Amino acid sequence: MNNQQPVVVGGRYELGELLGRGGMAEVRKGTDTRLGRVVAVKRLRTDLASDATFQARFRREAQSAASLNHPAIVAVYDTGEEPAADGSGISQPYIVMEFVAGRTLRDILREGRKILPERALEITSGVLSALDYSHRAGIIHRDIKPGNVMLTPSGDVKVMDFGIARAISDASSTMTQTAAVVGTAQYLSPEQARGETVDSRSDVYSAGCLLYELLTGRPPFVGDSPVAVAYQHVREPAVPPSDHDTSLPPEVDAIVLKALAKRLEDRYQSAAAMRSDIERYLGGRPVQAPIPPPVAAAPPVTAATSVVAPVAAYEEEEPRSRTGLIIALGLLLIVLIAGAAYLLPNLFEKAPEQVPTPNVINKTEKQARQLIGDAGLAVGSIDRENSEDVPAGRVVRQDPNPDDYVDPDTRVDLVISLGKPQVEVPFLIGQDKDAAKQTLEAAGFDVKLKQVESDEDKNTVISTDPSQGQTVAAGTTIIVSFSDGPEKVPNVVGLQQAEAETAIRNAGFVPRVFTTDDTTEPAGTVIDQSPAKGETLSEGSTVTLQVSSFVEPSAPTSPTDTPTTDPSETPIIPPPPG
């Protein structure tokens, strides 16, 4: 029985099964024990991690990659360093990423499966959308290849390994200085192969190589060694994809060859420009890339001069001798044509009269079936996919296209919208409200901020609705509740008791009243409070108020005078009558 404890990095990420191993790192499935979610943890090889310069640059690039928040980019949740398990004491950097259930384009191409040109262009458009976002954020991928692009079960594109390739390129800029470039030589831009400084247009070139392989099943350049392949990237022009698949139209050749231009000035100047050209083609509009001229066969000069001259001379010598023969042959040809025009319609059945395909785009599935049946056609396969523009349950695409003329009973394939793609609400609790709003808007959500009573620091996110980690449709309105900050005790000294108690309750505290007559303030007046004004308390804390109960005493009353008889007084005797 194996009692070995699972490996944990960062104090919270428990490592599980191995998902993949490359020339510079290994990726394992992991569990975030704190949040209870599945993640992917990539750890750099110990020999690369031992380079202090590489470590510093990798750390900066990993932090930059973590700032990227785009539906087509594998999200980076966390980065850090752990002592290597081999006991060397080297700090081994790791990156914690979004776990994506799906397969890489490399796996799909190795199966030899045919990818339709339209689907190849759609996939590349998704990659270019991610690159455009990263370029605007100042991040160059530098390692676009089938192994770094995943397709989810719903068909969404996910680009991986942002920042890592740049860190390696910074540490070792030329192909001969690092083995990490050897594995991806088939997708190097000419300037990368020469060891020159690269910019976002190098990613455009690599995206062109990716599109080339999706269209043809092989990269634009192959060779016996990485050096031979790199030489072709620098010197040899790419063969148009239509040389390998003649069904590809000239417009697709034009897009690919412009992306693979050797000179930076001749290439698409941004990922957005290349994506726009792809969307123009998919929308049936002219592309901006120059259409390559068709290759014409060389005229047989020698044969023409050796044959034409004798014939011309022969006709000049005997023009009349062949006139009868020509007339006879002409009459015979007319008779044959007339006979064919009469007999052929009776020998073969007439081809069925074709009918136009109805336009069922944006119709419900029920409406589409009705229209297709009314046109004398049949419903073919029905696929479903997410759509930013078409509501759920309505037709996104159809094949054949609207108004195409087809035979009766032709099957019309439909793609039905599943609605907007589902996006996970980011984890934002504890962040500043403005930063949370910016993160949500970058992920395609609408945001409504709501201030609530809380003792957390002011403007700190308390909760989100829908909750963080929940999967919702892109464009959903997220209500972000943030703290109004801890409350300060108001100054209520001098106020009447009722007025003071109201002020204390409005601030989120509980008043407690004591009375005293040891004062000369009028009864009912607050003469003291604890805590004092301006102090910060948790919501619901008690504030003690001392209220005067003094009653001013009444003025003393004077005693009422009453007549008395003083025995010492001499009585007044009235005089006798006289």
Helix (H, G, I), strand (E, B) or coil at 52: helix
Residue where the block lists tokens 């604890």: 530
How many other β-carbons are positioned within 10 Å of the β-carbon of residue 95? 26
DSSP E strands, 323-377: 355-356
Classify the C-alpha dihedral 555-556-562-566 as positive or negative. negative
- What is the Cα–Cα distance from 512 to 540, expressed in whole angstroms? 12
- What is the Cα–Cα distance from 332 to 318, expressed in whole angstroms? 23
- What is the Cα–Cα distance from 77 to 65, expressed in whole angstroms? 10
Query: Cα dist. 13→9, 88, 431, 530 in Å?
Result: 5, 22, 21, 47
Query: Cα dist. 322→103, 308, 312, 325, 483 in Å?
Result: 73, 18, 14, 5, 106
How many other β-carbons are positioned within 10 Å of the β-carbon of residue 336? 10
Residue 205 contacts residue 259 (beta carbons within 8 Å): yes
- What is the Cα–Cα distance from 59 to 74, expressed in whole angstroms? 18
DSSP alpha helix (H) spans, 217-270:
226-235, 250-259
Catalytic residue chosen out of the listed positions 143, 156, 161, 203: 143
The continuous run of DSSP H or E covering 58 comes out as: helix 52-66
Sheet with 8-9, strands from edge to edge, namely: 8-9, 13-21, 25-32, 37-44, 91-98, 76-83
Q: Burial of 178 by CB count in 10 Å (0-12 exposed, 13-18 middle, 19+ buried)?
A: middle
Helix (H, G, I), strand (E, B) or coil at 439: helix
Is 32 assigned a catalytic role? no
Residues belonging to the active site = 143
